[in-house]
Structure 1
Amino acid sequence: MDNSNSNFIYLDYNATTPVDERVLHEMLPFFGSSYANPSGAHLFSLTVQDAVDQATAEIAYTLGTHAENIIYTSGATEAINLAIQGLQFSNRKHIVGIATEHKAVLETCAFMERLGFEISYLTVDEQGMPDLVLLTETIREDTALVCSMLVNNETGVVLPIKEIAEIAHQRNALVLCDATQAVGKMSVNTRELGVDLLAFSAHKFYGPKGIGGLYIGEQAKKVLSAIMQGGGQQQGWRGGTLNTTGIIGMAAALRIAVSELEQEQQRIGPLRDLLEIELLSIDGAFLNGSPIDRLYNTTNICFPGALSEQLIMRLGTISVSSGSACSAVTSRPSHVLKAMGLQDLDALSSIRFSLGRLTHEAEIYQTIERVKQHVQNLRNTH
């Protein structure tokens, strides 16, 4: 996979990833010669539908489920909306979320609140972990859904989703797992996790943008309603012509990611550790989130006295972020870091570094040198 932006050091893989050339190669025929609508009844359409069915079976198998439980969406945000808004006609009107959830979950919950639902948000400790005893006390007889991400997008912290699901199911509440940062980067099996709904997005694991999916388990199917009407595609869960190229690309990207997962962990993990150890040697710098229960590619570090907005500008061709890609352009402190107990100024002085498939050692050393230099410069100007 060639990096055409060779002047850039890209350390923002949690925001998005480049499409792997092998993925693009598998997608190309469906832009050209195999262009038929898979919903048609003629032979040309059926050959395209066969390719879609094969891709779906592959994705479903990787996620530990069956093809009929996978619904394609435009990405994880739409998948999350389908899962949460799909509860509009539920008899239960209470939803539990975690304070560090992605805005896609928090904003959709806020929308449900306007429809008369009650939302409870669980606090987290300084390492980003929810209190499971508090979760048990928060779930009620009328709790319809518990929302928990698997991997936090800002800190890389891995949440105890299996235990969360067990607690929720004791009260017959459904569990939505936002696995956007996990799929393709770690083993994600819906059956082993015990979740009812699971959202994912191809562009986080070297697939195309504009395609994602929602796993819907059997219990969830009994409760949810479709929020997008149309021509009855996808068992009526989401109307509209299938994004064939996206589906083919997502299946290819997931296959490659899973097959190379172990070697990527072994290669990227030490690079992340090298970066982290060196940057934490900066006077006053500290790690945000659990140093143990987290993904191998992510580190979030606070540099007191150096505002992240200014540091990012000075780093120029080094691509890092101060939080979620959806809110990285704002100068408001991260809600994730605030929920973990950081003061506004420390939250505004924190940087997320997320490594990926194209990251190499020389880039890490350059990043270390330039971050150290610019943190010192910013501190000297105050």
Structure 2
Amino acid sequence: MIELGISTFGETTPLEGTGETFSHGERIRQLVTEIELADQVGLDVYGIGEHHREDFAVSAPEIVLAAGAVNTKHIRLTSAVTVLSSADPVRVYQQYATIDALSNGRAEIMAGRGSFIESFPLFGYDLNDYEQLFDEKLAMLLETSKATNLDWQGQLTQTVYKKDVYPRAVQDQLPIWVATGGNVESTIKIAQKGLPIVYAIIGGNPLYFKRLIDAYHQVAENEGHDQKKMKVGAHSWGFIAKNQADAVAKYFYPTKKTVDNIAKGRPHWQEMTYEQYEQSIGPDGAMIVGDPNHVARKIIALIENLGLDRFMLHLPLGSMPHEEVLEAIRLYGEEVAPRVRAYFAEKG
């Protein structure tokens, strides 16, 4: 069964027209409303990313997810991502086990290395240890998740000698997905561990990821992992409005604001032009923007071409009036998701 959901970073960029910016507090409260609505309209999963910069409101997704757990009944709640390299794996487990309790078994962790690196100096980590930190902390998180009693010899992490970790998750095993931007080595490592994977498909032609996904399944098979457990997810930027032209027009400004902000600190990024935007929302582009019919068709094609088990629409990128975001969530749950599910149910 295909899982459909939303990811967000709680963006706080200036709004088009007014130039006003949501405060971090206001945006965080909005996110709780968005989680509750996503649950009401029947979406499967809601994910919140961790950042430590002015243009994103959420540095502690687990707290927002915990707030969202209280008044929801069905939707799964995940980080998107937890920057595990600069976090304590034991504490991460405890936090998501607590969300699991509040939601009665709907919590997940999506671990990542950290495309944004502000957390490393903030918490005293050396970027020279970037890969080693993630590998060791992921191994420690998996060990913590396996059993109550933790016996762990750390190198870049603490050493824990036979100490119990509480609370335990309501689920027998707290789901742990690993996110990647499309790095081949990361794909191989995730497959070797037998963990579900999530690709951030935010630029270029999404079909590029097909060879990575094929490699992921092949490596997992060679390692003897159960293919039924080798789930593949993806997230892509996008927006939905009742009218195709309105969706395209409204989404450019907030997306450009966010991309331009990121480009300031990344030499391989550049400020977005409208021509680049048009290409990105086109048939071969990674963005999924339009009316419900268009969005459903593009999501179906992405899922089918890549063999996805889960798709998360990053909605929106950059700040938009909250009523427009809520309307997009309604359209996603009430019009897009039923079309996508019906298509794959018919295919069997």
Q: Which TM-score bucket, shorter chain as reference?
A: under 0.3
Normalised to the residue count of structure 1, the TM-score between the two structures is 0.26
Which one has more relative contact order, counting CA pairs under 8 Å at least 6 apart? Answer: 1
Larger Rg: 1
Q: Answer 1 or 2: which has greater helix percent.
A: 2
Superposition TM-score, scaled by structure 2 size: 0.27
